[in-house]
Every structure is written in structure tokens, then in C-alpha cells.
A and B are shown apart, each in its own frame.
Chain A
Amino acid sequence: MHVASWFQKCIEILIFYDFQEELVVRPLHSGDIYASFQFRTLWETDFMRGNKVSHYRLFPKSLGQVISKFSVRELHISFTQGYWRTMQWGQPYLPSPPGAELWVWFQDSVTDVDATWKELTNVLSGIFCASLNFIDSTNTVQPSASFKPLGIGNVTDHRFLRYATLPREIVCTENLTPWKKLLPCGSKAGLAVLLKSEKLFHSSFHSQAVHIRPVCQDWQCKTTSWELRQTLNVVFDLHNSGQGKREWSLFKMFSRTLTEACPLASSSKIYIDITDNPEGEQFELSPATSLLSQAMVLGDRRTFSVYDLTQQDTFGSVRSLNLLIRWKSTEGDMLRPLLHAERYVAGYGLQTGEIHTLMYNHHPYRSFPVLLLDSVPWYLRLYIHTLTVTSKGKDNKPSYIHYQPSKDRVRPHLLEMLVQLPPNSVTEVTVQFERALLKWTEYTPDPNHGFYVGSSVISSLVPSTVAMDTNSTRERPLFSSFFPCKEESSYFVRVYTEPLLVNLPTPDFSMPYNVICLTCTVVAVGYGSLYNLLTRSFQIEEPSPGLAKRIANVIRKMRGVPPL
């Protein structure tokens, strides 16, 4: 072998790669169970120089090529089936709206962002077997404040940001398979063996996501690397998946047990949230573990039982781990989430309507600002002068409004505003809209089902009850380290409201020919009558001679005799 190429190979192998996997299980008070998978692949590379990389080890090549080809700085994509019920389940570790969501920060070297975005969505559509190719200018917006980069780099020029949602997207097995293929161990070993679609999609909430961002390796940020975070959140329903019994096990949830960690993983752990169960009075956990861990999650100090899959003794003598949670009592209440939102359409008929967004601040004495982002399709024509924001019966003027009106068939409305939520209050945002009549080819195949409007996004720094961990490089469980934390007194939360389903007036799809004929007839009547009057003149009507007389005249003419 050539010495130089051998040397090159050695260097490439020496490049830092790291893979971690973890599963967090949170028993919910309703008896449902929330399982959150996190897989993190780190890849040390200098992404800023944009050099061509040809060697991929743990990092999926398909995504690596996408990043370098489209000069992506950050990419966040999620596919969700079902709606996260914040009031019943608390905040999720990673929020996502129903349907598909994609937001991308491009590097500032990209000249034609729109064209790159269009191409990127089509490529991602192929990678994830999803209809992301339906993302076009009519559902893409450029939020000015709601979506800041989550990785390093301080580009805040929102010209390089694109955000789009497809609220109608249905997530199923064909999206899960390509997602699993991105993992270094696939679904052959480690936590990923639990991801069986027949169980995952038999749940009340399912969300899978891919987040790619540049992160620092150390606290000085001397070296940077790409982080690929694949997350999958699922909520199993007590009655549907648990057959009504308050008893959960890995086997019952996923119809698999664990036998080994992914051999490529540097860490492979299962966390069970036992904060509400310090003495074991709520539920019983077996096999028991002495390993405990504490983490600051969503403004709260949580305690977890930890199972380290890289340790052989975790699997015990049967060489398989089947965690079992058995409830003892059904009492106990959950900490109410501090921020919560909901949305609905008011009004009747198909001419106008009003969108109501309710934002709840459950904090007893602190007020905090929230950023509300609304992206409404063009066929619901928003009237911004009807925008009202009221809290506690009083007008609450937003301190910042960024509004971009829609263009028909080109771009949606974008409404972003900063609202201060007073303590222990409900803030109501209303705005009126008018429903447009579309061309008959612009309706979906089932027009009377209605049109979806994507979720509103509420982003906020919520005051925390405990000091948050601001050291971003310290070793922490993955689920608590996604959103960077800048200050100790507050933590970042993103809340998605329900998507809306709005009916539009429809033409009769069966009669384009009839309409064309009838309208043209009316125009022809107008043309005909005017033409008639313009070209003809009045004359005295002479009665036409009878038939016999006319025949006689013809004969007389042939004979050369003057007519009668």
C-alpha cells in the first residue's frame, strides 16, 4: 500500500467520532407512559471551510452529503403523529407540532437561499420518504425572532433561515425505516431494537426528529463538531396499549427486551423518572437499580434511576433487561406546566372567521414575555387591524410585532409578536380572517374536509424554580441538553398549539364546462344585441310575397316577362 494513502487513512480514523444512545421513560399520572429515545452522533470536522469530505464513519453519509452540498448550518426536521397534551402530560423533552416541521439555517455563503431550500426539501423528501416536496413558497416563512440557531455561531440574519410546516403530513412506517437506517447500529443492536413500528404507531403520540447542528467539543470551543441528534418520542396510552392495566414493561411497550448496547456507542443508558416516587409509594420498579442521577429538566430538578447498558451486570443472569413499572396508587398530581397554549377558530359560515389563541401563564407571581409565531396560509386573508391581545380583561399591547402580509398563491402570512404574559393569567390573541374562494384545481382531493393551518409556535424563557445548569460542555443526560441554557434563572420552552382545520367555500367541481358555456352565452348575448343595433338600421317591413307568387315570378323571369 502506498505510504501516503495509508497515512491519510490513519488520520481519518483518528478523527473524533462519538455515539451515545439513551432512553428516558417518564410514567405519567394519567397512567400513560412517555418514552423518549435520543441518539447522538458527534463528528469532529471543520464545517466552516466547506472542504469536501469523503470519509464517513458513524455519521450517515446521506446526511453528511446533504450538509456539505447545500451549505447547511443547522437542520431540524420532525415528523409527528398526534398532538402533545401539555396539560395532561407536562412539557415534552423535545416539542414538535403535529405533521412535519422543517427549519434550516443556511450558511451565509449561500447566495440563492430560496433555490437551495427548494432543492434541499426535495432531497430530504427522498431521504425520509415524506411529502416534504410539498414545501414551497406558499408555506415557507422566515421568522425574525422565534427560531434562533441552537448550535454555535452567531448568525442571526434571518435571511438564511427557512421554516415550514406540513400539518397534514401523516407519519408512518415508511418514515421510520429510513430514520432508523441513519443510526450506526441500525435497528440491529442497542436501544434501537425496541423501535418496532407495529407498537410505536399503536400509540397516542409519536414523534421522530432529526436535528443537525454544529457544537463545541470543549468549553473553550477550540474544536467544533457536527452533532446529529435523532430523537423519537412516544406516548403509550393506558387503555389502548396498556390494556387498561397500570403496569408497563419494555416488552409490553415495544414487544422486545434489551440484550446489549450498541457496540459502537460510548454510552448507552436508560433513565426512569422517579422524581414523584422517591419512596416507591407511587410505582414499583424492577429490576431495582442503585444508580441514581439528577438533572435539571425544564426548570425542575428531576431524579432518575439509571440503567447502564454497557455494564454486563445490568442484564442480570437472564442476559436480558425487561424493565417493569407497576403502579401502586393512582393518586398524586402533576406539577402544572407554567406555560400552556391552545387555539381555535370562531365564527360560523364560510365567509369570515376569527382565530383565537389562548396563552396561559400558570406562574403564581412572575410575568414573562413570550414570542408568538403564526404562519397562516394565504387563502385565509388575515386582517391585521382586527388583531387584539387581551389579558385579564385589559388590552395588552405587544411590544414587538413583525407582520408580513400574504401574497396570493405566493407566500403565507407571517405574524410574530412579543407579548408579556402577566402572572397567573390567560392572554387571548384574536385576529379576523376572510376565506377565499380558490380555483377549482387548487382544492385538495377532499375539499370539504377542510384546509389545515399549521400550529402557532410559542417560544419563551420561562422563569425557573431551580438554578439551571449553564455549563454547556459538562456531561449531562442528552434529553436535558438540547436547548442551550444561557442563564440560571430561566429555561427555554417551545409550545406548539393545535393545528386548525378550516373549511373554505367550494365551487361545484363537476361543472367547469357548464360554467364556461353559460358565462360565454351571457357575454355573447351582450355582444349580439349590441352588434345587432350597431350594424343594422331601421327599415320599413315589406311583407314577403306568398310562395305561389314567388314561384310564379321565377317562371315569369325565365320567360322574360315582368314579374307580378
Chain B
Amino acid sequence: MSGLPGFLIDDRLHFPSCPSQGGQRFLVEMAAPLTLLLVLAVTIRAALFRSSLAELIAERVEVVSPITAWKRVVEGLALLDLGVSPYSGDVFHETPLIIYLFHFVVDYAEITFMLDIKTTLTFTDLSLMLFQFRKQKFALEADRYPLDCLELIRSPKEMYYIPLKVAMFYLLNPFTILSCVAKSTCGLNNAVVALFIFSTIKGNTLLSAIFLCLATYQSIYPLTLCAPAMLYLMQRQYIPVNFRRASFWWFIAQYLFMYLGSLFVLICLSFFLLGSWDYMPSVYGFILSVPDLTPNIGLFWYFFAEMFEHFRLFFLCVFQINVFFYTIPLSVKLKEHPVFLIFMQLAVISIFKSYPTVGDIALYMAFLPVWSHLYRFLRNTFLVSCVLLACSTLFPVLWHLWIYAGSANSNFYYAITLLFNVAQILLVSDYFYAFLRREHHLTYGLYLKRKDGSEATLVLK
């Protein structure tokens, strides 16, 4: 039995040096199904855009938040046309770059929102590279693991369809479709995050820092993705995560310099575009202080609508800290597995952010097929999927009862948001559990025995 954590050594040695080779082969072989999928996805979106449903979807509080709503972006543009600063009011909360982007492409907005197709392609490419990298790893590691663990390691054949599955999970996910049809700017954020993950996995430090900074600029929270990005890039460049090594600190300084530098450039650019700092309180103050209590699928709105005024600041800090709080312990625990860390961070962000929408959930759900090797250790799949499905259908129903029919009150909708979030938490912790358990089995063997030779059960202690 290998006492060493096998991954650490092997990962450092066998990174895919040229992932495009395998990628090209994959693209040739997968071209047909992938094209079919893309055509299908575009058709669904185009049909919905043209139908009367589009307007209905664009008003749904689950799909658009005060930050990402397309209606508010249009309002921002209208204010700009009237010669009023979009940030002088409390309707528009997107960043200055977004408004200037749409200032030029507003006529092609629908096409812009097809951007989630691009996001998918990025995801596909990304999972493709992960798959390349795993395949090589598999070839080299197969003899290092305990024999009975072989069934835990995905064979190249199993991994073959993962990129396609990822594409399908993202493109055909109803959450993504809704978010795209509502023209939520969440699609843009997802694209930026996908590009960040892509460039990180490709090993491009500069691009990774730039995209991460773009994502942070859009909505503060992706700041926490800094840690997995640095861990991954350090692994790639064979820099040990060791506080006593100068190379470690040198890399951190380099990355942070690139990250903060581009953030500085972006913030200054926004300042020069508008000529004022108004956007800072209007975008970031709005995200952090949660003044808009419009119902959404998150935990904030009802809590702060019912909060006692003198405790408001305290609970605001407690709730906001949740997103950032788990970064350090998770990075310590998952320092050898930065990609899983990225997944965990994205999930934590989408659960605990102040104005979550279904688009944020779709982003981390796209990762689920990548962890298909964890399925055998998942405990609550049935429960979680049932709850998620039931909640998704109950959202519009209870909303209608509360807002239109007047036969229910806010508590009904609130109860569903609670349940939905519990389900998400269960989903994430279940994946985390499965991941840790697989790691344990990879080290100690799959069929564990007690001292007396009888079959043992694993418990967390």
C-alpha cells in the first residue's frame, strides 16, 4: 500500500504538455454530436426568444436579480441617453464596462446572450483537457494504487464522453436556458468565469489573472477563486506549496501583482468612462449592503426584510462573510485538487451570494459530470434531485399564489427558498464527502477490513 499521497507526486510529473493534440482528435470524433447539441441548444433559445414566454421569463425573480436584469440594463442605457448618470438612481447596478459594452451592441443583445454557447465550448474544451490530463495520469498511476482501487479510477473510455456531457449539462440545463432567454447579464459573468478556469487550466498565468479580475470586477465574490487558481498554477509549474520557499512567495507576488494590476486598470477605466466614482457604492455597495429586498432564490431577502434594524449590520457581516469564510480551510484541505476547489468555491458563492439567480447554479452544475467518478459514494442523490426539482416547480406556483392570487403570503415563497438552499448545501457537501472518501480509498484500498478481519465501515471522526 502506498503510504504517500500518490497524486501529489504524479500530478507534478505528468501534466499534459500539449493538450491540443488529443483535443483535436476528440473534436474530430465528437464533432457530429457536439454540432447536433449546439444546433439543438441554439434552436431552443431562438424559439424561446421569439415566443411570448420570453417576456414572462425576463420578469421572473428566480431568473433575474436586480443586478443582472436586462430591463435594468436597458434602463441604464436610457438614463445614459437622457444625460443622467445611470448610477445616480437605484435601478441600474451593473458595472460601467457592461453598460458601455451594451451601449454599442444593444441591437444585437440576443446574439450577445447566445454567449452561453461560447461558455459551453469553453467548458467542453476545459473538461477535455482535464480528461487528457487524467488519461495520462491514469496510464502512469495505474500500478501505484492498491489493486482493488482500480475500479475507482476512470478508464479513458469512461472519460471519453465527459466533455460532451459537460456541454450537454450546461447547454440543456433549464436554468441556463431560462437565464439566457431572460437576457440576464449573469450569462456574461459565467462566460468570464469559464474563461478564467480555462486559461488557468491551460496554464496561462496572465490570462487567468485578467479573467479572474474581470469576474471580480463584475461581482466581488469570485475573489475567492484566487486561491485555487494559484494552487493550480503552482502545481503546473512545479512550485511546492511551502511557506518557507522563496519561489512560493515569488509566484504569489507575481500572480497578485497581475491580478491587482488589472483590477486597478479596470477600475480606473470605469472611472474615466463615467468621470465619477458613483459606480463604486452603486455596484459594490449594493452587493455588500443588500438594500434591495426583491425576493430571489437566496437567503438574504426575507432575512433582511424581517431583521431588527439595530442588528442589521451585524447579520450583514455574518452573512457576507460566509462566502469568503470557507476559502482558507477548503484550500488547505484540497490543496492537491484545485479544480475540485474551484467547483466548491463556485457552489459556495452561488449559495451564499446576496443576489443569486438560477444562472449561478447552472455554472457549478456544469461541473457535475466531471465528477462522475464520485457517483458511487454519493449518499443523497435521490433526495437532493427530488427536492431541487420540486422546488424549481414550486417557485413559480407559490410566487403566483402570493403576488397575483393573494391566497398565500410571503412565508410560502420563503419556505421554498429555504428548502432549495438546503438542497444545494446537501448537494455540495455530498460531493465533498464523496471526493474525500474516494481519496481515502485511493490511499487505503477500497475494501477495508477491521482488525479481526471482518468487513469495516468508514466513519468520519
**Are A and B a genuine interacting pair, yes or no?**
yes
Chain A interface (Cβ within 8 Å of chain B)? 348-352, 378, 381, 383-385, 401, 403-409, 413, 434, 436-441, 505-508, 511-512, 515-516, 518-519, 522-523, 525-527, 529-530, 532-534, 536-542
Determine if B326 and A530 form an interchain contact, defined as CB atoms under 8 angstroms apart: yes
Q: How far is the CA of A541 from the CA of B461 in the complex (A)?
A: 9
A residues near B322, Cβ cutoff 8 Å: 523, 526-527
B residues near A441, Cβ cutoff 8 Å: 309
Asked if A511 meets B306 with Cβ closer than 8 Å, knowing A436-B293, A534-B330, the reply is: yes
Binds A, one of B165-173, B265-273, B385-393, B433-441: B433-441
Minimum CB–CB distance for B181 against chain A, Å: 18
Q: How far is the CA of A424 from the CA of B440 in the complex (A)?
A: 84
Asked if A384 meets B75 with Cβ closer than 8 Å, knowing A537-B460, A539-B458, the reply is: yes
Nearest to B76 among chain A residues (CB) is: A385
Nearest to A437 among chain B residues (CB) is: B293
Determine if A511 and B295 form an interchain contact, defined as CB atoms under 8 angstroms apart: no
Mask, B58-78, CB within 8 Å of A = 1, is: 010100000000010011011
Determine if B329 and A534 form an interchain contact, defined as CB atoms under 8 angstroms apart: yes
Q: How far is the CA of A541 from the CA of B458 in the complex (A)?
A: 6
A residues near B299, Cβ cutoff 8 Å: 519, 522-523
Determine if B302 and A507 form an interchain contact, defined as CB atoms under 8 angstroms apart: yes
A residues near B315, Cβ cutoff 8 Å: 516
Nearest to B303 among chain A residues (CB) is: A519
Determine if B460 and A538 form an interchain contact, defined as CB atoms under 8 angstroms apart: yes
Determine if B352 and A526 form an interchain contact, defined as CB atoms under 8 angstroms apart: yes
| B interface bracket (residues with beta carbon within 8 Å of A) | 35 or more
* B156 located at the interface, meaning its Cβ lies under 8 Å from any Cβ of chain A in the complex: no
Nearest to A351 among chain B residues (CB) is: B403
A residues near B305, Cβ cutoff 8 Å: 437-440, 507
B residues near A541, Cβ cutoff 8 Å: 456-459
Name 14 extra pairs, CB < 8 A, besides A351-B404, A439-B309: A351-B61, A405-B79, A409-B291, A440-B306, A515-B306, A523-B352, A525-B422, A526-B351, A526-B425, A530-B432, A536-B460, A537-B440, A537-B461, A540-B456
Determine if A539 and B309 form an interchain contact, defined as CB atoms under 8 angstroms apart: no
Instruction: Pick the 7 closest A-B CB pairs, nearest first.
Output: A405-B89, A385-B78, A529-B429, A349-B404, A515-B306, A540-B456, A536-B460
* B254 located at the interface, meaning its Cβ lies under 8 Å from any Cβ of chain A in the complex: no
* B382 located at the interface, meaning its Cβ lies under 8 Å from any Cβ of chain A in the complex: no
Determine if B306 and A385 form an interchain contact, defined as CB atoms under 8 angstroms apart: no
28 contacts between A and B (CB under 8 A): A350-B402, A351-B61, A384-B75, A384-B79, A403-B82, A405-B90, A409-B291, A437-B410, A439-B304, A440-B306, A505-B295, A508-B409, A515-B302, A519-B303, A522-B421, A523-B299, A526-B421, A526-B425, A529-B425, A530-B326, A530-B330, A530-B432, A533-B333, A534-B330, A536-B461, A538-B460, A539-B459, A540-B450
Q: How far is the CA of A147 from the CA of B32 in the complex (A)?
A: 69
**Central interface residue in A529, A533, A537, A539, by most chain B CB within 10 Å:** A533
Minimum CB–CB distance for A447 against chain B, Å: 12
Asked if A533 meets B432 with Cβ closer than 8 Å, knowing A436-B293, A519-B302, A540-B448, the reply is: yes
* B204 located at the interface, meaning its Cβ lies under 8 Å from any Cβ of chain A in the complex: no
A residues near B307, Cβ cutoff 8 Å: 439, 512, 516
Minimum CB–CB distance for A354 against chain B, Å: 13
Determine if B410 and A508 form an interchain contact, defined as CB atoms under 8 angstroms apart: yes
Q: How far is the CA of A434 from the CA of B295 in the complex (A)?
A: 12
* B411 located at the interface, meaning its Cβ lies under 8 Å from any Cβ of chain A in the complex: yes
B residues near A505, Cβ cutoff 8 Å: 295, 402-403, 410
Asked if A530 meets B429 with Cβ closer than 8 Å, knowing A407-B90, A515-B303, the reply is: yes
B residues near A515, Cβ cutoff 8 Å: 302-303, 306, 414
A residues near B301, Cβ cutoff 8 Å: 437
* B147 located at the interface, meaning its Cβ lies under 8 Å from any Cβ of chain A in the complex: no
Q: Which of B366-389 contact A (CB under 8 A)?
A: none
Q: How far is the CA of A54 from the CA of B9 in the complex (A)?
A: 94
Nearest to A542 among chain B residues (CB) is: B450
Nearest to B458 among chain A residues (CB) is: A538
* B319 located at the interface, meaning its Cβ lies under 8 Å from any Cβ of chain A in the complex: yes
Q: How far is the CA of A516 from the CA of B414 in the complex (A)?
A: 12
* B294 located at the interface, meaning its Cβ lies under 8 Å from any Cβ of chain A in the complex: yes
A residues near B306, Cβ cutoff 8 Å: 440, 507-508, 511-512, 515-516
Determine if B90 and A378 form an interchain contact, defined as CB atoms under 8 angstroms apart: yes
Contact of B458 among A407, A511, A533, A540 (CB under 8 A): A540
Nearest to B87 among chain A residues (CB) is: A405
Q: How far is the CA of A530 from the CA of B332 in the complex (A)?
A: 13
Q: How far is the CA of A518 from the CA of B303 in the complex (A)?
A: 9
* B43 located at the interface, meaning its Cβ lies under 8 Å from any Cβ of chain A in the complex: no
Nearest to A410 among chain B residues (CB) is: B90
Asked if A532 meets B450 with Cβ closer than 8 Å, knowing A407-B89, A505-B403, A508-B410, the reply is: no
Q: How far is the CA of A409 from the CA of B292 in the complex (A)?
A: 10
Determine if B84 and A404 form an interchain contact, defined as CB atoms under 8 angstroms apart: yes
Q: Which of B26-74 contact A (CB under 8 A)?
A: 59, 61, 71, 74
Nearest to A382 among chain B residues (CB) is: B91
Q: How far is the CA of A507 from the CA of B413 in the complex (A)?
A: 10
Determine if B293 and A518 form an interchain contact, defined as CB atoms under 8 angstroms apart: no
Asked if A538 meets B440 with Cβ closer than 8 Å, knowing A351-B59, A523-B299, the reply is: yes
B residues near A408, Cβ cutoff 8 Å: 90, 291-292
Determine if A403 and B84 form an interchain contact, defined as CB atoms under 8 angstroms apart: yes
Asked if A533 meets B436 with Cβ closer than 8 Å, knowing A385-B78, A522-B299, the reply is: yes
Q: How far is the CA of A529 from the CA of B460 in the complex (A)?
A: 12
* B313 located at the interface, meaning its Cβ lies under 8 Å from any Cβ of chain A in the complex: no
Minimum CB–CB distance for B109 against chain A, Å: 13
A residues near B451, Cβ cutoff 8 Å: 542
Q: How far is the CA of A512 from the CA of B305 in the complex (A)?
A: 9
* B111 located at the interface, meaning its Cβ lies under 8 Å from any Cβ of chain A in the complex: no
* B308 located at the interface, meaning its Cβ lies under 8 Å from any Cβ of chain A in the complex: yes
* B18 located at the interface, meaning its Cβ lies under 8 Å from any Cβ of chain A in the complex: no
Determine if B78 and A384 form an interchain contact, defined as CB atoms under 8 angstroms apart: yes
Determine if B414 and A406 form an interchain contact, defined as CB atoms under 8 angstroms apart: no
Q: How far is the CA of A523 from the CA of B292 in the complex (A)?
A: 21
* B418 located at the interface, meaning its Cβ lies under 8 Å from any Cβ of chain A in the complex: yes
